[in-house]
Amino acid sequence: MCQDDLPDRIAGLVASSAGEATVDSVIRATCGRALSLPPLPAPPAVAAEPGSEHAIVARFAEQFVVDVSGVDDDLRSRFLSALGDKAFRTVVAIFIADFVPRVWAGCQALGLAKPGFTMAPSWDFGTDPTDALLNGFVPAVARLRRLDPVTTEVVRLRGAAAHHCRLCQSLRETHALDAGGSEDLYGQIADFETAVLLSEAHKAALRYIDALIWTPSQIGPHVADGLREHFSAGQMRELTLDVMRNAANKIAVSLAADAPRVAEGTERYEVDDAGQTIFA
């Protein structure tokens, strides 16, 4: 599929469900409050009054949004116990409610159309959104090629560090390395404002990425103008969607499933033409 189907994919995610209307309402309201952004629309009919299970979902969702690395063993255990076999689907629903509003806020700040924006979804309660997110949306974004591979990798590594994803921090993309990426360059991402190896375009992108991750309701004109100075509209759109794609690591981090595949050092991988991750 082409880039133009991404709005439809996002609209489908907005219309998806954790499987129960009350849970959807709790998740979306909680994420909206934590983000200080308008929440995703919630189903109009709530099945029941929120109960203890929903309180745990709300606590987990709030921590997921604010700082996913703060989901500790106790909260994770309570969440898994309360949700049982619905847990993974519920985390996916939380991720959607967390990141689609960020994408819309970023696009709005940049003067871009909000992909998939709708306030009247055609609700789908029966289909688990996991496949649409991880096997549909994620590789579709990875197939975008307006950004150069080094910028894409710099952005990915910033998000990996922000979310404390051990797996993502241990990986290095081959095309980016072939295009000039290096450990010396990547080592300057943490303190990018004073970095000498990162370009001004990289720094503008990283300011925007930080705003999307930490203060999505406050993306200032200086951040947006700085991005416009170095990137086209298509590249800015790709950057924004890349942040959401990369942040799918929050799902693994929240469930303590982000262990690296190597005991030490880094592992190479590449994103192929289909948007799939191929390990060396």
Q: What pLDDT is stored for residue 53 in this prediction? A: 87
Per-position pLDDT tens, the chain of length 280: 344 799 999 999 999 999 999 999 999 999 999 999 999 999 875 555 667 789 999 999 999 999 999 999 999 999 999 999 999 999 999 999 999 999 999 999 999 999 999 888 999 999 999 999 999 999 999 999 999 999 999 999 999 999 999 999 999 999 999 999 999 999 999 999 999 999 999 999 999 999 999 999 999 999 999 999 999 999 999 999 999 999 999 999 999 999 999 999 999 999 999 999 999 7
Q: Residue 43's pLDDT is what?
A: 86
**Phi-psi group of 42: left, alpha or beta (phi > 0 → left; psi -120 to 50 → alpha; rest → beta):** beta
Q: What letters, b where the CB count within 10 A reaches 16 and e where it falls short, cover 179-211?
A: eebeeebbebbeebeebeebeebbbbbbbbbeb
pLDDT at 136: 97
Residue 197 tokens, joined: 């190896």
Burial of 76 (0-12, 13-18, 19+ CB in 10 A): middle
- Token pair 């409050």 is at which residue? 33
87-109 vs 200-214: helix axis angle to the nearest 10? 130
Whole-number pLDDT of residue 4: 74
pTM of the model: 0.96
Helix (H, G, I), strand (E, B) or coil at 278: strand
Q: In a 3-state reduction of DSSP, which class is residue 185?
A: helix
Q: Three-class SS string for 18-84?
A: CCCHHHHHHHHHHHHHHHCCCCCCCCCCCCCCCCHHHHHHHHHHHHHHHHHHHCCHHHHHHHHHHHH
How do the residues of the chain divide into helix, strand and coil, expressed in percent and rounded to 5? 60, 5, 35
Residue-wise pLDDT tens digits, 217-246: 999 999 999 999 999 999 999 999 999 999
Distance from C-alpha of 212 to C-alpha of 218, rounded to nearest angstrom: 9
Spell out the domains of the chain, with CATH numbers in brackets. 3-127 (no CATH), 140-279 (1.20.1290.10)
Give the model's pLDDT for residue 52: 79
Structure tokens at 82: 């309360």
Task: Give the model's pLDDT for residue 45.
Answer: 58
The three-class DSSP label of residue 158 is helix
Q: What are the two backbone dihedrals, phi and then psi, of residue 27, each rounded to the nearest 5 degrees?
A: -60, -50
Q: List pLDDT tens digits, range 172-189.
A: 999 999 999 999 999 999
